[in-house]
Amino acid sequence: MQPGRVAAQAVSAQAVSATGTITGRVVEAVTEAPVAGASIRVVGQEGAVQSDAAGRFTLRGVRVGIATIEVRRLGFAPVQRGDIAVSPAKPAEVTVALRAIDVQLEAVTVRPEAFPAQMPASTPVSTQRYDAEEVRRQPGAQEDVLRAISIAPGVGVTSAARNDIIVRGGAPFENLFVVDNIEVPNINHFGSQGSTGGPISLINIRFVESASLSAGGFGARLGDRTSSATTITLREGNRERVAGELNVAATQVGAVLEGPLGNKGSFIANVRQSYLDLLFKAIGLSFLPRYTDATVKATWRPNQRDAFSLLTIGARGTISFDNTTDSNRVNNSQVLAPAQDQYFSGLTWKRLIRRGVVTTTLGRTYTRYVTAQRDSLLVPILESRSGEGENSLRTDVTVLASRRLEVETGTIFKYASQLRYDATLAGFTRRDAAGAAQPLRVDTSFTALRNGSYVQATWQTTPRLRLSGGVRGDWYPFLGNAVRVAPRLSGNWQVNEATTLSVSGGRYWQAPSYIWLVGDAGNAARLKPFRADQLVAGITRLVGSELKVQLEVYGKRYGDYPARRFRPQAVLSPGGFDDATTDIPFGLEPLQSTGTGTAYGVELFLQKKLGASPFYGQVSASVNRTQFAGVNGVRTRGAFDTPVLANAVLGWRPNAKWEVATRVRTSSGLPYTPWVETGAAAGTLDFSRYNSQRVPLFFAADLRIDRRFLLANRQFIAFFDAQNVTNRANSTAPVWNPRLRRAEPSENIGLLPSIGLNFEF
């Protein structure tokens, strides 16, 4: 036999015999108490283990690849947890939540965890949950968690190059992001001040255990946002042995290290460094972004009742310019450069009590912004230095009062101890309604306190009917001691084992962003919390154990929305600022709380989980309309009115080595305001025709191919990820050419291929 053939057979034999380990915990879904004596097995493989008194289990000898585990315990609904990536290099750490049911003699249908027969009471309607592997492998997402979940129904983005998520017509600043129980103002590098968007998430995809996005109807626990709530749970490090990863992705290179801390804890840490500046320079761009971030999470469980976790994420982002040529200086004069240093950190203590759990988190968020834009002669157009630091203390209590009654209550205090703003804005970029220049110079600092408290009860009135009601109160001392009350109600009726009807309604309040308060001397007195009243109704049908079909209708009505006094046709709806000369940035203008708006639509969602079939995917489509009225009271298209949104993902995993997936995205073009092209006002937006035009239809197809290799009992993963494989020239709103003094078409980047490598050791 030839030596080459012998070597090939040896590698093949190693691939067949390679095994890994799955470790984790089994907990009760409501109280988070450990579940002892649960039986855990890998579907399609022999053998099973039981969870110990702490709920922990270890499955060894699991074939490398993607595994599904089945968990059973008398008195609980059994579940399957799929999409677990098993590697020979490091253990896979998972947490499985079981929900108590009445003990029955008849068999209970086993469903994947994503589609349980009985959803947790705290799960709102309009919520989609994605596990780590579903997030990681999303085609075209470039391993960015926000881009991965943006394919949920009713969700759009402002640009293919940004993470400004638009949920059911709401502006990006209406979205709430919670990372390990810490409410984070913005989780993006180069984020838009006063909003939540940015081009790149600072959450490392390899830390994500799960991510869920609620597009509306969420309960009283979450508040101070009027559109959506995204909850990202970061995984714990494995407790078996020290392990790590080295990875190179489309925009950065990074390293991850994890392992045990004694015999009762674990840690996981990473650092990433971008090479965007090298890529931008190679393709001839004259502005060069660069970022670095680091994440550390440590967990300690000293006993079965207490758990402590510490999370810290820090990031730095800078943009430099090549101004060596006249052409570069002209191009750079249309770029607003946000340099940022930011971090958020939280210490969480979970304490199990009788039939419940108390969770307390002490958090801190801070961002320092240094933003500048200069004209072609390098004269400042905008200069802004500011810092926003906020401390938070949150306590939530969940009690299972009886098998049918669950009660949640809690409170969160936030104290913004560092709010410092030093900004200068040229008058020609800040004109009033009559066209007169109104330059801005502000240098101020202040503090702000706020509180939100809630109580919510969920009653399983019958085996098929579940009702939930709650109320949230928010107190805003920095807004004239404003107090706002928000009732929430929902109901779920399980028509049969496969079909569920749901309805949810409530009021949602949100405070103005801090920077809006300094945009004019009168803003602090004129601005107040704005509201959205929401109503959502839907039907969900489970087809087998792997397919979910969901249809929802929704309506939102806005009031007290921030309206623009210099732009009486418009409300404030920033979606990311790239150029301060096109419009007034960051809400640095006179505002008043008199805007109104409506949004309504219908959404269809189909999701096929990876299971017995090697295919997976999802399809979402929505038809919706959004309108707002500003100071003049005239209703116009909302800035993010997108009548049609549709996304589809189809993936195929034929074996443990290969995976191929494609994603297709299409949507109606966003509205835009055309330019004034003649006269003294040429080069300014014509707000008399506010949002009167619409960019062409957006369409993009993405492709991702993954290949796994085993090298000396280590795993090496290579992937090819291509955005916009059809190289379609998707148009954005026209841009103003200051040289030719005319509006010109603008297009997103065409085909964007990238190669990623990941080595696990």
Tens digits of residue pLDDT in 534-556 = 999 999 999 887 899 999 999 99
Place of tokens 């950190």: 345
**What residue segments make up the domains of the chain, in order of their start?**
3-116, 147-760
Check whether 723 has a pLDDT greater than 60.
yes
Tens digits of residue pLDDT in 93-103 = 999 999 887 65
Percent of the chain topping pLDDT 70: 94
What's the confidence (pLDDT) of residue 250? Answer: 75
What is the H or E stretch that residue 26 is in? strand 19-28
| Contact indicator for 251, 275 with CB cutoff of 8 Å | yes
Check whether 135 has a pLDDT greater than 70.
yes
Q: Cβ of 709: how many Cβ atoms within 10 Å?
A: 13
Check whether 60 has a pLDDT greater than 70.
yes
Across 8-29, average pLDDT: 69
What's the confidence (pLDDT) of residue 102? Answer: 62
Q: How far apart are CA 140 and CA 661, in angstroms?
A: 10
In total, the chain counts a number of residues equal to 761
Q: How far is CA 425 from CA 434, 439, 518, in A?
A: 18, 6, 13
Beta bridge partners of 94: 24
Fold of 3-116: Immunoglobulin-like (2.60.40)
Higher pLDDT, residue 579 or 244: 244
What's the confidence (pLDDT) of residue 2? Answer: 44
Check whether 50 has a pLDDT greater than 50.
yes
What's the confidence (pLDDT) of residue 105? Answer: 38
| Contact indicator for 490, 500 with CB cutoff of 8 Å | no
What is the H or E stretch that residue 406 is in? strand 405-425
Fold of 147-760: Maltoporin; Chain A (2.40.170)
Tens digits of residue pLDDT in 411-465 = 999 999 999 999 999 999 999 999 999 999 999 999 999 999 999 999 999 989 9
Burial of 739 (0-12, 13-18, 19+ CB in 10 A): exposed
Give residue 126's pLDDT band: very low, low, confident or very high (50, 70, 90): confident
What's the confidence (pLDDT) of residue 65? Answer: 86
